[in-house]
Amino acid sequence: MTANPRPLLDVQDLHVAIEGKEILKGINLTLCEGQCHALMGRNGSGKSTLSHAIMGHPSYVITGGRILYRGEDLSALSTEQRARAGIFLCFQYPMAIPGVTVASFLRHALKAVEGERFDPKTFRKRVKQAMERLGIDSDFVRRHVNDGFSGGEKKRLEMLQMELLAPRLSILDETDSGLDIDALRIVSEGINRHLGPGNAALVITHYQRILSYVKPDVVHVMIDGRIVRSGGPELALELEEQGYDWLEPTSVEETSP
């Protein structure tokens, strides 16, 4: 982490609704350059809603608060513009795209984000080097995107995208879901390799196990659309041992002096 980190992502009192139902109920979260934060919580707590709101999904309506990226309000930017600005989202359930090869998909993704900076002459070399770092077989790029992929293969493709796009802000929505221990290690190495002084990562997960490989600076716990507790890496270990019940708002109120 840098000595005097600057905020890369600043979520301020964020309220988000889907089809008129409020899901996020006042989220505050600041992620600085060089940091890795973990966001933990049960299914349905609002973790993925936060990731989609940051990325600008049109179904997720911001009804209050704001999201700042590098000090600028994201509200006026489309999803494509946010990607070009350096925001990357690993989806919880990546979609299959039959008929589109991985090589073609990566080429179009890089051209869309890099624009005039994209160099087709070095594209194959960049992909080959990134695949070698992730331990991906050379035949992988000839397959169709996520078509018949295992859970581990889908997540490796997302890590491959992250390696190539080199985003400033990476949001990893349950990237550890369905991974065996070898795939988890490779994915974690990709995340750690990406982290540096000028960028940051928000790791969304149910479980502590990925945090044994990717060390967070801060762990947040979300329950019912609110962050109810933030702390160091030890908080994830407490959740592993005790679950989430002890952090329910009613439990906190009852035990407060």
Res 92: pLDDT: 75
> Out of 33-37, 47-51, 56-60, 181-185, which region has the weakest mean confidence (pLDDT)?
181-185
Provide the pLDDT confidence category of residue 253 given band limits of 50, 70 and 90: very low
Domain that holds residue 213: 7-255
Contact 200, 193 (CB under 8 A): no
Q: Which is it for strands 87-90 and 169-173: parallel, antiparallel or unpaired?
A: parallel
Instruction: Give the number of domains in the chain.
Output: 1
Nearest to 239 by CA among 215, 202, 209, 208: 208
In a domain, 2, yes or no: no
In a domain, 1, yes or no: no
Provide the pLDDT confidence category of residue 36 given band limits of 50, 70 and 90: very high
In a domain, 100, yes or no: yes
Res 250: pLDDT: 64
> Out of 13-22, 48-57, 176-185, 200-209, which region has the weakest mean confidence (pLDDT)?
176-185
Res 156: pLDDT: 87
In a domain, 160, yes or no: yes
Cα–Cα dist 28/235, whole Å:
18
Backbone torsion region of residue 221, taken as left when φ is above 0, otherwise alpha when ψ lies between -120 and 50, otherwise beta: beta
In a domain, 124, yes or no: yes
Provide the pLDDT confidence category of residue 3 given band limits of 50, 70 and 90: low
Provide the pLDDT confidence category of residue 206 given band limits of 50, 70 and 90: confident
Q: Which is it for strands 97-101 and 144-145: parallel, antiparallel or unpaired?
A: antiparallel
In a domain, 130, yes or no: yes
Residue 18 has pLDDT above 90, yes or no: yes
Residue 94 has pLDDT above 90, yes or no: no
In a domain, 61, yes or no: yes
Residue 255 has pLDDT above 70, yes or no: no
In a domain, 217, yes or no: yes
Q: What is the pLDDT of residues 134-168, one digit of tens each?
A: 889 999 999 999 999 988 888 889 999 999 999 99
The CATH number of whichever domain residue 143 belongs to comes to: 3.40.50.300
For 154-171, letters b (16+ CB in 10 Å) and e give bbbbbbbbbbbbebbbbb
Alpha helices (H) along 17-71: 47-55
* Tokens at 212, concatenated: 């044994």
**Mean pLDDT of the residues in the chain:** 90
Instruction: Give the mean pLDDT of 87-100.
Output: 90
